[in-house]
């Protein structure tokens, strides 16, 4: 057994990779590993060097619907860029894992999972699918997370390392606090100079950050890093963006969150049918009379037309954020009262996955 271990160690040394004896996990990297995006020649050992080596820790400020705590930005992801403004995506379909919550639990990362449930939120309420998307699109493109870079590899542990590192980085980048300390707080009436926001965050980060907006509304920030060594155990160094990024006007709105989204989800076909049969015509007493009023698709279209946004549904009347649309076709005062006792709706806007 000792002979086999020594042979394995010699093979690793021959490729420039060092391993810690008897310790399962990411292989250790030399202290003088090159900094990503700064090499002049090709680095062969991609277990200790990330070719797509500008890593972006990206954050959301979602307000419609709101996600996460009212005094914190939320995690979007951790993305590898190619050092030239381009980026790889979906690099290994065989490792596009599902069941991220189970993977984290199986790899001793329950604390990370608990944190993600509060701070890594999907605007549609489907956190698991969002996490799977971020891992499959971005995580599989980080070379040091290849299973070959592990001693005593445990199934899917590289995905757990991706989420643990993303959360670890996010905790060092308290965007809300940095802005608040500079007098920049969410407001329904104030506007802020983009340069001021960027200046505050760039000073704290140690390099220029990228800001993202929906129209005039601030909703995203990207923190750029280069990495010395591996993602798992390397040193993250603040870096300038690897190209022109971000589209925001010179003056922006930084809107407050209206509340969390624990019970928020987009209307399903069944829920639209319930709206059709229970709300639009409560004066009709039988299912046969109610059924032909509107199709679920027509109801959804009218909701979008009336509010100008996608609409989300709550079952808790205490969560009512928007009164029933009394001017909407089919809504009499009686229908509105029935609606009020049965459902609650909240205006929400889509937030595209990147």
Catalytic residue numbers, as ranges: 76, 134, 138
Calpha distance 18→30 (Å, rounded): 8
Residue 91 CA neighbour count, 13 Å, CB half: 18
Calpha distance 119→126 (Å, rounded): 13
Helix spans in 109-254 (H) = 110-119, 127-137, 157-171, 175-181, 194-205
CA distances from 78 to 75, 101, 212, 230 (A): 9, 18, 16, 14
The packing angle between helices 157-171 and 110-119, to 10°, is 50
Of 312, 309, 340, residue with least CA distance to 326: 340
Of 216, 183, 316, residue with least CA distance to 259: 316
Do 309 and 348 form a contact (C-beta atoms < 8 A)? yes
What does the block give as tokens for 96?
Answer: 């596009």
The radius of gyration computed from the CA coordinates of the chain, to the nearest angstrom, equals 25
Which positions ≥6 away from 341 have C-beta within 8 Å? 317
Calpha distance 244→240 (Å, rounded): 10
The packing angle between helices 157-171 and 127-137, to 10°, is 100
Terminal-residue alpha carbon distance, the chain: 48
Partners of residue 214 on adjacent β-strands:
217
Cis peptide before 309 (omega within 30 of 0): no
Element (H, E) at 56: strand 54-60
Do 350 and 63 form a contact (C-beta atoms < 8 A)? no
């Amino acid at each position: 057994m000792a002979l086999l271990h020594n042979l394995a160690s010699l093979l690793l040394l021959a490729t420039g990779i060092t391993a810690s004896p008897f310790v399962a996990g990411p292989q250790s990297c030399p202290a003088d590993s090159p900094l990503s995006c700064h090499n002049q020649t090709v680095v062969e050992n991609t277990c200790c060097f990330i070719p797509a080596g500008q890593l972006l820790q990206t954050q959301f400020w979602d307000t419609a619907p709101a996600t996460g705590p009212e005094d914190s930005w939320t995690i979007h992801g951790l993305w590898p860029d190619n050092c030239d403004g381009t980026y790889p995506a979906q690099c290994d379909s065989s490792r596009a894992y599902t069941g991220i919550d189970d993977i984290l639990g199986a790899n001793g990362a329950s604390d990370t999972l608990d944190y993600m449930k509060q701070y890594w939120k999907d605007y549609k309420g489907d956190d698991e699918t969002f996490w799977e998307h971020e891992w499959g699109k971005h995580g599989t493109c980080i070379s040091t997370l290849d299973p070959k870079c592990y001693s005593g590899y445990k199934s899917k542990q590289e995905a757990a390392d991706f989420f643990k590192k993303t959360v670890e980085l996010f905790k060092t980048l308290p965007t809300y606090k940095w802005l608040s300390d500079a007098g920049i707080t969410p407001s329904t009436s104030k506007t802020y100079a983009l340069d001021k926001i960027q200046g505050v965050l760039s000073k704290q980060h140690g390099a220029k950050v990228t800001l993202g907006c929906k129209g005039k509304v601030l909703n995203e920030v990207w923190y750029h890093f280069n990495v010395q060594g591996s993602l798992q155990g390397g040193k993250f160094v603040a870096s300038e963006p690897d190209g022109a990024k971000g589209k925001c006007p010179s003056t922006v709105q930084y809107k407050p969150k209206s509340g969390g989204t624990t019970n928020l989800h987009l209307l399903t076909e069944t829920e639209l049918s319930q709206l059709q049969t229970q709300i639009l015509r409560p004066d009709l007493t039988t299912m046969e009379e109610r059924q032909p009023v509107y199709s679920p698709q027509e109801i959804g279209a009218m909701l979008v037309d009336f509010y100008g946004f996608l609409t989300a549904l709550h079952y808790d009347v205490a969560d009512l954020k928007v009164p029933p649309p009394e001017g909407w076709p089919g809504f009499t005062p009686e229908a509105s009262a029935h609606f009020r006792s049965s459902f609650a709706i909240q205006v929400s806007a889509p937030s595209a996955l990147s």
